[in-house]
Amino acid sequence: MESLSDHEIISRVLSGNTRSFADLVERHKDKAMTLAMRMLRNREEAEEAVQDAFVRAFNALGQFEKRSTFSTWLYRILFNVCSTILSKRGEPVQSISSDKNKEEWEDEIPDFSEIPDSIVEGEEFRRQVIEALNELPPLYSGIATMFYLDDLSYEEIVTITGSPLGTVKARLFRARAMLRDGIVRRIGTEEFAR
């Protein structure tokens, strides 16, 4: 099977070969599902959100500007769909309200540099990292997923979330801080912190 780039497939779809869109769905569905699951934590809602996002993407494909990647554009649509679902649930996507400034956040970040390799390299540490990630508030879990899983840049996350760069940096910092905190609490190694 010939391997076309996302942009080539999009050109085909726009020129009338609409069935090619199924290739884009196949290519991106699992990563989209992962983002939706991390934000919504409900398989049924995540499946509906992903399907809805792909349908919206198809209907708006003519507006897709090839300056960005299809996955970034799709994520933006999916992020908005998930945000809407969370709002309907009464859990609007928003920052944790906090009076803490950056320095105070800094002081509270557990330093797990003393955690021995025997723990870090074990399966238990891996499991705790993922569980801690899954327990982050939806907004932070979504941002951390995009950052770690897809290696998205700050600028791409800005495009997806529609938030200013400074906000994205602050949220990513908090996400990492909360992730560390969750890991340390889980593996019970507070004694290693600081």
Taken in order 31, 144, 125, 97, the sign of the CA dihedral is: negative
Crossing angle of the two packed helices 154-161 and 165-187, in degrees rounded to 10: 100
Q: Is 115 left (phi over 0), alpha (psi -120 to 50) or beta?
A: beta
CB of 116 to other proteins, least distance (A): 10
Choice between 11 and 177, CB closer to other proteins: 177
Choice between 92 and 153, CB closer to other proteins: 153
Choice between 92 and 131, CB closer to other proteins: 131
Residue among 65, 43, 64, 39 nearest 54 (CA): 64
Choice between 8 and 131, CB closer to other proteins: 131
CB of 152 to other proteins, least distance (A): 11
Are 143 and 161 contacting, i.e. CB atoms less than 8 angstroms apart? yes
CB of 15 to other proteins, least distance (A): 15
CB of 134 to other proteins, least distance (A): 10
CB of 140 to other proteins, least distance (A): 13
Residue carrying the six token digits 């897809």: 150
As given in the structure block, the two tokens for residue 46 are: 């995540």
Backbone angles phi, psi at 16, to 5 degrees: 120, -15
Choice between 92 and 120, CB closer to other proteins: 120
Distance CA 53, CA 75 (A): 8
Choice between 15 and 113, CB closer to other proteins: 113
CB of 145 to other proteins, least distance (A): 8
Are 74 and 32 contacting, i.e. CB atoms less than 8 angstroms apart? yes
Question: For binding to other proteins (CB under 8 A), which residues are involved?
Answer: 18-19, 21-22, 25-26, 29-34, 36-37, 44, 46-48, 50-51, 54-55, 58-59, 102, 106, 109, 111-115, 120, 125-126, 129-130, 133, 144-145, 148-149, 151, 154, 172-173, 176-177, 179-180, 183
Q: Is 90 left (phi over 0), alpha (psi -120 to 50) or beta?
A: left
